[in-house]
Amino acid sequence: VGTRLFKLPRRKFEGDSEVFRDMFTIPPGDNIAEGQSDEHPLMLESIQAEEFESLLQVMFRPHHAPTAEEAKELSRDEWVHVLKLTTMWGFEKLRRIAIDSLTPLLQKENPVGWITLARTYEVYEWLLPALHALARRTKVLQPEEVEPLGIITVVKMAEVRESFPLADRNGNYYRGYATRETHDFISVIRRVFKEELRAAKPFESIDIGKVDYSWD
């Protein structure tokens, strides 16, 4: 990886990833398969050594699923590294661990980053709660958030946020209604983002009530 040479047992990689099983396949003829010796290492392109190290911290635990305390040993960015590589290489069990470990961390962050990660790594179960968190946020969308979200999402989110009832036709502000932070935008989000949400897995896997909607 980069300029670093890692010496690791192949079993962990071949057993859980079809991508690595193909990488380790011995080529025909007199060619030497990569990963057989220091002179012929398996070159992993387009990743950083620190990303690979994050994956190894999870992969080489005595048991796959980390406890709550063990999960805290990795930072938010390290778990993103794990999510990136497990998605790239098809480590389904480790990807699930990364998703479960990241979820409570992302619930406390700017929902724009949460939405971006959901789309980048196809974690569709994050989309609804992340969009809901952004709709409930008191702070309006900022110019620097347009690029990561995309203009179409910004326009759609404006429609969702504007559905929150502030005043009647006479300009009298409603009293007794929920605040933006507690208003339920779910039905509006499902309608406005219905095309994208069709690809999503069941949303019930994330408790929307645990999301921090006060983030600003």
- Model pLDDT for residues 160-201, shown as the tens digit of each residue: 998 887 644 444 555 555 678 888 889 999 999 998 888 765
Q: Kindly report the pTM of this predicted structure.
A: 0.77
pLDDT band of 8, cuts 50, 70, 90: confident
In a domain, 165, yes or no: yes
Looking at per-residue pLDDT, the higher value among 13 and 141 belongs to: 141
In a domain, 72, yes or no: no
In a domain, 38, yes or no: no
The three-state secondary structure class of 50 is helix
In a domain, 177, yes or no: yes
Sign of the Cα pseudo-torsion (54, 60, 58, 119, in order): positive
Q: What is the largest CA-CA distance in the chain?
A: 84
In a domain, 62, yes or no: no
Range of lowest pLDDT (36-45, 116-125, 203-212): 203-212
Q: Which domain holds residue 194?
A: 125-216
In a domain, 182, yes or no: yes
Provide the number of structural domains found in the chain: 1
Q: How many residues does the chain have?
A: 216
> Which tokens is 25 given?
């396949």
Residue type, 92: E
In a domain, 120, yes or no: no
Taking the C-alpha atoms of residue 115 and residue 126, their distance in angstroms, rounded to an integer, is 7
Task: Name the nearest CA neighbour of 40 among 15, 16, 23.
Answer: 23
In a domain, 89, yes or no: no
Taking the C-alpha atoms of residue 83 and residue 98, their distance in angstroms, rounded to an integer, is 5
